[in-house]
């Protein structure tokens, strides 16, 4: 507790300096970080190999191992992504609105940093860089608490980042890491409302639920991705094109939150399409689960349990359900989905419009793969996560979403009568 409290106090002390830093100063620090990641890549890879070996002994899943693993190519890509953040417009100080009041006061509402952001996340060392970079550019201090699987990688990366920040002239305590994976340290973060302004959990359902339930610090919930694709009976797309969307959404990178986990098909679209989709999915190594109707039509498909329809697989697995109408598909998605990303394949403008209005998710697609829900793909640059809650922000959280607002009121000796 004392360790975490000391880190939080340092982050709070550094926060005003982070907020006051100019765009030039912040970009200079980001350039130094990008360079130092490459210069110190051997140090990072050595630490990462230690995490990989330890995690394999513990029987980590393939999807988590993929998220954990770094190589030279990934480090170069992570470093290059910082250049994209440098090029983004600094949101701090942006005037959201403003006007002159009748009494002569000048009022402005501007973007300002959130303050000290705590991030609790699982085995993804790239998040360590993304979070540090986004928080720094948006004028925030950040406290990082990763999982035991990536502890060595995270410590090494933060050491490299802090070194670069210090050399650039900004306080190194803008970026800090909890150097243990002790659960009590995470719990301590959740109680430090005096020093931490917001917590962002990033990981599986159990982690997110735990933080939301136990934190005294306000939480921005980056939810799981139980994403759906619904194939309507009114579509001009041929089976090959439909299959390409489904295959991309499921297999392009199955371990991420915007991968499709469930496939809904209108019963009138099943003939001539279901067999093709199953064949193409199986050719990619995808295990297929399904409803009773699906299992009755296709050999070798296991029945999906009630709990499974809520599940985020994060692997080469998908569940298929045959539905009787668009309304049934929407009802199913809103009941079992996670509010992340869902897509409809249809040629009907009326149905696509109804789907986008009624599906209660952060990102809703028409005739496209769900894999595009990403800060970079949306032109927002790197992201801190995909928010699935409705307050503050929903969807990819980039630079602008790491801010709040402040009123600036300019007067000349005004007093209220």
* Residue position matching structure tokens 């970026």: 175
What does DSSP assign to residue 309? G
Asked if 60 and 123 count as a contact pair (C-beta separation under 8 A), the reply is yes
**CATH number at 227-372:** 3.40.309.10
Phi-psi region of 203 (alpha: psi -120 to 50; beta: other; left: phi over 0): left
Cα–chain center distance at 195: 24
Half-sphere exposure in the Cβ direction for 43 (13 Å, CA): 13
Cα–chain center distance at 250: 18
Question: For 2-222+384-410, which CATH class?
Answer: alpha beta
State the Cα–Cα distance between residues 198 and 11, nearest whole angstrom.
13
Q: Which residues of 326-347 are buried (b: 16+ CB within 10 A; e: fewer)?
A: bebbbebbeebbbbbbbbbbbe
- pLDDT value of position 379: 84
Task: Tell me the domain boundaries of the chain.
Answer: 2-222+384-410, 227-372
Compute the radius of gyration of the chain from its Cα atoms. 23
Helices (H), 170-273: 183-191, 205-214, 239-251
Question: pLDDT tens digits, the chain, 417 residues: what are they?
Answer: 689 999 999 999 999 999 999 999 999 999 999 999 999 999 999 999 999 999 999 988 887 888 899 999 999 999 998 998 999 999 999 999 999 999 999 999 999 999 999 999 887 899 899 899 999 999 999 999 998 999 999 999 999 999 999 999 999 999 999 999 888 999 999 999 999 999 999 887 888 889 999 999 999 988 789 999 999 999 999 999 999 999 999 999 998 899 999 999 999 999 989 999 999 999 999 999 999 999 999 999 999 999 999 999 999 999 999 999 999 999 999 999 999 999 999 999 999 999 999 999 999 999 999 999 998 899 887 788 899 988 889 999 989 999 999 999 999 999 998
Asked if 397 and 222 count as a contact pair (C-beta separation under 8 A), the reply is yes
Strand partners, 116: 141
- pLDDT value of position 1: 60
What does DSSP assign to residue 324? S
- pLDDT value of position 248: 98
State the Cα–Cα distance between residues 140 and 144, nearest whole angstrom.
13
Which of 164, 152, 144 is CA-nearest to residue 79?
Answer: 164
């Amino acid at each position: 507790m004392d360790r975490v409290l000391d880190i939080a106090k340092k982050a709070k002390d550094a926060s005003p300096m982070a907020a006051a830093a100019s765009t030039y100063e912040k970009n200079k620090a980001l350039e130094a970080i990008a360079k130092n990641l490459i210069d110190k890549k051997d140090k990072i890879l050595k630490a990462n190999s230690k995490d990989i070996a330890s995690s394999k002994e513990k029987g980590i899943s393939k999807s988590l191992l993929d998220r954990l693993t770094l190589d030279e190519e990934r480090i170069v890509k992570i470093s290059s992504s910082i250049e994209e953040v440098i090029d983004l417009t600094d949101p701090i100080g942006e005037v959201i609105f403003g006007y002159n009041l009748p009494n002569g006061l000048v009022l402005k509402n501007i973007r300002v940093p959130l303050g000290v952001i705590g991030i609790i996340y699982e085995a993804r060392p790239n998040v360590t860089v993304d979070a540090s970079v986004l928080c720094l550019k948006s004028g925030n201090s950040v406290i990082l608490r990763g999982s035991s699987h990536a502890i060595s990688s995270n410590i090494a990366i933060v050491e490299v980042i802090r070194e670069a920040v210090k050399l650039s002239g900004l306080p190194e305590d803008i970026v800090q890491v909890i150097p243990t994976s002790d659960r009590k340290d995470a719990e301590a973060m959740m109680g430090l409302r005096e020093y931490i302004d917001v917590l962002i959990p990033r990981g599986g359902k159990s982690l997110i639920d735990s933080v939301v339930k136990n934190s005294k610090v306000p939480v921005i919930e980056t939810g799981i991705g139980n994403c759906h694709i619904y194939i309507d009976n009114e579509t001009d797309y041929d089976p090959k094109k439909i299959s390409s969307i489904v295959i991309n959404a499921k297999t392009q990178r199955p371990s991420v939150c915007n991968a499709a986990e469930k496939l809904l098909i209108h019963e009138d679209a099943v003939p001539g399409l279901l067999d093709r989709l199953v064949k193409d999915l199986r050719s990619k190594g995808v295990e297929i689960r399904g409803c009773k109707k699906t299992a009755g039509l296709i050999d070798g498909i296991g029945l999906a349990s009630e709990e499974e329809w809520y599940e985020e697989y994060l692997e080469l697995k998908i569940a298929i359900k045959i539905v009787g109408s668009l309304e049934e598909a929407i009802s199913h998605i809103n009941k079992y989905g996670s509010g992340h990303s869902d897509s409809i394949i249809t040629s009907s403008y009326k149905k696509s419009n109804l789907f986008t209005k009624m599906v209660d998710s952060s990102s809703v697609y028409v005739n496209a793969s769900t894999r595009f829900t990403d800060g970079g793909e949306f032109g927002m640059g790197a992201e801190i996560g995909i928010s699935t809650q409705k307050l503050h922000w929903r969807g990819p959280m980039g630079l602008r979403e790491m801010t709040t607002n402040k009123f600036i009121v300019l007067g000349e000796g005004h007093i209220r009568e």
